[in-house]
Amino acid sequence: MTGIKLTVLIVDDTPENIDVLSAVLEGLGCELMVATSGPRALELAGRRRPDLILLDVMMPGMDGFEVCRRLKADMSLAEVPVIFVTARADDISTGFAVGGADYITKPINADEVLARVRHQVERQVLLRDLRDANRSLEERVRERTAELTLANRQLRVEINERRYMQDRLNYLATHDFVTRQHNRGALDAHVSELLARIQRQAGSAVFLLIDIDQFRLVNETCGCIAGDELLRQFAELVAGALSRTDFFARTGGDKFAVVSEDPSEDGGAALARQIHQHISEFEFQWEERAFKLAATIAVVRIQRDIVSFDQLMLMADEAAYRAKREGRGAIVIHDPKRSAAEPHRESINWALVLFDALKQQRLRLYAQRLEPLAAASQGPVPLLHVETLARLWDAVRGKLLMPTQFIAPAERFHLITDIDRWMIDQVIQLLAEVPELHPGIGQVAINLSAISVRDGTLAGYVAGLLARHQVPGRLLCFEITETQAITNLQSATGFMQQLHDLGCRFSLDDFGSGFASFTYLRRLPFDSIKIDGMFVRDMDTDDVHSGMVRSMAEMGRLLGKPVVAECVENERVAGQLRELGIDWAQGFAFHQPEPLTADLLRRWVGVGAVAQQPV
């Protein structure tokens, strides 16, 4: 460093995060400014221009992405580098899209913070040196015009210095500092130029998106230094499988991209297999540990109907998503015919479909009753228990789409919280229409994404709706699926406790589908558990699944939590569940989901053909 004292603005609504970042940066000798909200950050940046901003993504009110957009819109602040601080991998691409220079993952790791901040500080110092050198150069040229010989010699020296700084600055701007390969910005520029050439003249090329399958395992078990070393070695490995004319870049995280303008006749599959072969022969060594790696590869043929880098990345992401579903080390070639035949899987279409569905009220509210089994049917007063379900009306094809088709795309496009809020709003409004039925309703369950659980404003949103519509919180039960990772147990516990205070309850959905369930049951205040239907559906013919259900039922009894079994499709399974003492059953054997209306609630509560004790 040159001894210049740089100013760093830390923006985070969590004091603990601010303290950690301040402690890490203390050794760099930076002058620190702190803001706990987006508006405050904009105020401080406008009053005193910082050299670097560490910006939290998830903040109440104005989130980090909006703060970055406003900073970049201000000419005086547009060049200030922004490093996003986030716990969600999905935030990384959005952060780069709004102008972010880099990112830091949560939980905060001191080595990672120092490495990324030093990278940006070096860049800022070089920029300052370059500006100073330019000013100094111009002044000396004016002063020494009369002394041409000496001035020319000095000028050559200083021009060489400036060229070095410019070259270094260009390198930092176009290369990833961990792998020393091209970065996403350089990839964008290369692909855009290639697409322009293909539009003007005939040509062929392929795009490969490579995702390391077990990077998180190494990064979390051995630390981020080991993770960076793995990325460096992996990049060298893949680069060794490419020709000199191929363009290779790291797009972010554990993803890399290859652009080849000389593809084989099979459209890039041979190149993908060659890369796989190199990877299969590689073993990553770290502190006496050895890791065998694999990678999923998505292949997209670059043709004239692709007109932008973003469109190409969406197509590659969609193929990568299919590759992940097919298993470790898969190769998937993007097939436009398959996308046309299955438009519900096409990422480009989903962004518009989901946005229009929310804007034009195309979501539908359905419900399925729960059936009380022997252990849950001893109460004297019958109470209704239902689970609400979302359906999406596809106006183009004139049919309803199931949640399995649109929930995953909604999460990828950050629209899942909007869908969750729509569900909560619809259920509470419907319950407000039938206050006379409240005594006969045990609970109405609503599926809730873990992404929504991390939304610091959701608990207040629910509380406000309950108060406005005069609906008792005891009627609501929020189901949080195990398959969605809750990365911040403290915030999840706070969210659940806030709604518990209002009488709401929580159920752990898809229990048994992963190891996380047992951790959540110990550390989060769940009121009931729901066994994953993959074990229940065929337990009458699969002894292993039957044993799993038996074990989970026993765990529920030991924890004192009611147990619900989903996907019950025949009476044989229902009989086994009764013998195991399962409290509740849900599935087509008892009820087919149907549109939830006030009249339907009146009919259900009126006939009393449902449960007696609330879960």
Going from the N-terminus, what domains does the chain have, and what CATH number goes with each?
A: 7-173 (3.40.50.2300), 184-341 (3.30.70.270), 362-607 (3.20.20.450)
Q: Which residues of 341-355 are buried (b: 16+ CB within 10 A; e: fewer)?
A: eeebbbbebbeebbe
The whole-number pLDDT of residue 265 equals 67
In angstroms, the CA 262 to CA 267 distance is 10
- 59's CB contacts (< 8 A; 6+ apart) are 11, 12, 13, 37, 38, 67
The whole-number pLDDT of residue 607 equals 57
In angstroms, the CA 493 to CA 499 distance is 10
The whole-number pLDDT of residue 312 equals 87
Going by pLDDT thresholds of 50, 70 and 90, the confidence category of residue 346 is: very low
The whole-number pLDDT of residue 56 equals 92
The whole-number pLDDT of residue 303 equals 84
The whole-number pLDDT of residue 191 equals 92
3-class secondary structure, 99? coil
Residue 397 DSSP class: T
Of 139-153, 192-206, 514-528, highest mean pLDDT: 192-206
**Closest to 51 measured CA to CA, from 28, 23, 24:** 28
Of 99-113, 280-294, 345-359, 430-444, highest mean pLDDT: 430-444
Amino acid occupying residue 38: G
User: What pTM was estimated for this model as a whole?
Assistant: 0.49
Residue 574 DSSP class: H
Other CB atoms within 10 Å distance of the CB of residue 522: 9
CB–CB of 11/53 below 8 Å?
yes
Going by pLDDT thresholds of 50, 70 and 90, the confidence category of residue 612 is: very low
Look at residue 492 and tell me whether its pLDDT is greater than 90.
no
Look at residue 484 and tell me whether its pLDDT is greater than 60.
no
- 408-429: per-residue pLDDT in tens? 778 767 788 999 999 999 999 9
Look at residue 464 and tell me whether its pLDDT is greater than 60.
yes
In angstroms, the CA 442 to CA 475 distance is 6
Q: For 430-443, what is the mean pLDDT?
A: 94
- 381-397: per-residue pLDDT in tens? 558 999 999 999 887 77
Q: What is the mean pLDDT of the chain?
A: 83
The whole-number pLDDT of residue 348 equals 42
Identify the sign of the CA torsion 520, 525, 531, 533.
negative
Residue with more model confidence, 104 or 5:
104
Going by pLDDT thresholds of 50, 70 and 90, the confidence category of residue 226 is: confident
Look at residue 1 and tell me whether its pLDDT is greater than 60.
no
In angstroms, the CA 231 to CA 225 distance is 10
CB–CB of 210/294 below 8 Å?
no
3-class secondary structure, 289? strand
The whole-number pLDDT of residue 4 equals 60
Going by pLDDT thresholds of 50, 70 and 90, the confidence category of residue 376 is: very low
Instruction: Give residue 217's Cα distance to chain centre.
Output: 18
Strand partners, 250: 256
Question: Lowest mean pLDDT: which of 199-208, 333-342, 559-568, 576-585?
Answer: 333-342
**Closest to 324 measured CA to CA, from 300, 294, 280, 354:** 294
